[in-house]
Amino acid sequence: MSMDLSVVVPVFNEEDSLAELVRQISVVCEEQKISFEIIFVDDGSTDGSFALLEELHQKDKRIRVIQFRRNFGKAEALSAGFSVVRGDRVLTLDADLQDDPAEIPFLIRVLDEGLDLVSGWKKTRKDPLSKRIPSKIWNFMTSVMTGIKLHDFNCGIKMYRREVVESVHIYGELHRYIPALVSWEGFSVGEMPVNHRPRLFGRSKYGASRFFKGFLDLITIMFLSRYTRRPLHLFGMWGLVFGSIGAVITVTLMVLRIIKTIYLSNRPLLFIGVLFILLGMQFFSIGLLGEMITRSHSKNRNYSIRRFLGE
């Protein structure tokens, strides 16, 4: 028998929200006659989240629970949830009640009109200004750099066709770029404004460092999407550019030295310039090569599961 919807919820210390979240999801789905399951992924919570989830699973077998051995991060949690979904469609949702389950039927409708991923757009966002402004800038940059026209890449609420979550591969903090990764695989991606609510319980798990890391991740995915299979096109080109400039400079200085007797010892800037370019190139190439290695290794799972209720 086919199931309409799998809801995947990453959980990191959200004990006060969970029961209410289950209630809200069940109400909406039952009203709309949507058959569903909820997969909670407990990402190493240290509060009572898991005990509560276990209880919820005992009462209602539509609730399945994966428990990680420690905190691996939201991307890993989503990816673990994605690997066990049974529904034709998959919804992701934050556990903190900031996303509104009442959007489920609308998201399904938009998805079924012919998209592979519908991403929520927190048009009026209920978060502090210190979060909203950097997020606007980050979204704008991501949109420009990836060429994908979305307002809100990192919205927690997203509706997918199952094929999409089966093929998207996320780890680290790449969950922020799911729309880009999915679109680069050839799936169609759209967005829909969604209701956003203030956090009532617990604390936000992400501080300002996310934007810095997010920028580095953006470089990673741009690189991976374009150059994984042909890194030499990137490195080789810049190698040639810098190599030739360096050659021109040194040859010129050498000629000047021989013909006009201008001593190289009067050109200290030369050393600094050359040193910095070389260092920069080395750091960068090593960083990107490292990312490639992570990528091929992390085709295997990079999280560790302690228990799975409802396997």
Binding site for Mg ion (CB under 5 A): 94, 96, 98
HEC readout, 65-132: EEEECCCCCHHHHHHHHHCCCCEEEEEECCCCCCECHHHHHHHHHHHHCCCCEEEEEECCCCCCHHHH
Q: Quick check: 15 binds ligand UDP (CB under 6 A)?
A: no
3-state secondary structure of 1: coil
Shortest reach from residue 119's CB to ligand UDP, in Å: 15
Query: What does the block give as tokens for 43?
Result: 């990402």
Binds ligand UDP by CB under 6 A, chosen from 6, 12, 81, 146: 12
Strand 63-68 with 87-92, pairing = unpaired
Q: What is the largest CA-CA distance in the chain?
A: 90
Specify the residue, 156 or 190, whose C-beta has the smaller distance to ligand UDP. 156
In the complex, minimum distance from the CB of residue 47 to ligand UDP, in angstroms, rounded to a whole number:
11
Determine which residue in the list 73, 172, 190, 214 makes contact with ligand UDP, applying CB under 6 A.
Answer: 73
Residues within window 189-218 making contact with ligand UDP, judged by CB under 6 A = 204-206
Residue 270, classed as helix, strand or coil, is helix
Question: Could you give the string, one character per residue 33-62, with x where binding to ligand UDP holds by CB under 6 A and - elsewhere?
Answer: ----------x-------------------
Judged by beta carbon, residue 95 or residue 117, the one nearer ligand UDP is 95
Report the nearest approach of ligand UDP to the CB of residue 130 (Å). 11
Give the three-state DSSP class for 181: helix
35 binds, among ligand UDP, Mg ion, none (CB under 5 to 8 A by kind): none
Least Å distance, CB 76 to ligand UDP, is 8
User: Which of the residues 78 through 97 are near ligand UDP (CB under 6 A)?
Assistant: 94-96
Q: Identify whether the C-beta of residue 42 lies closer than 8 Å to the C-beta of residue 121.
A: no
Place of tokens 């990137």: 234
Which pair of structure tokens corresponds to residue 50?
């898991």
User: Interface residues with ligand UDP (CB under 6 A)?
Assistant: 10-12, 14, 43, 71, 73-74, 77, 94-96, 98, 156, 204-206
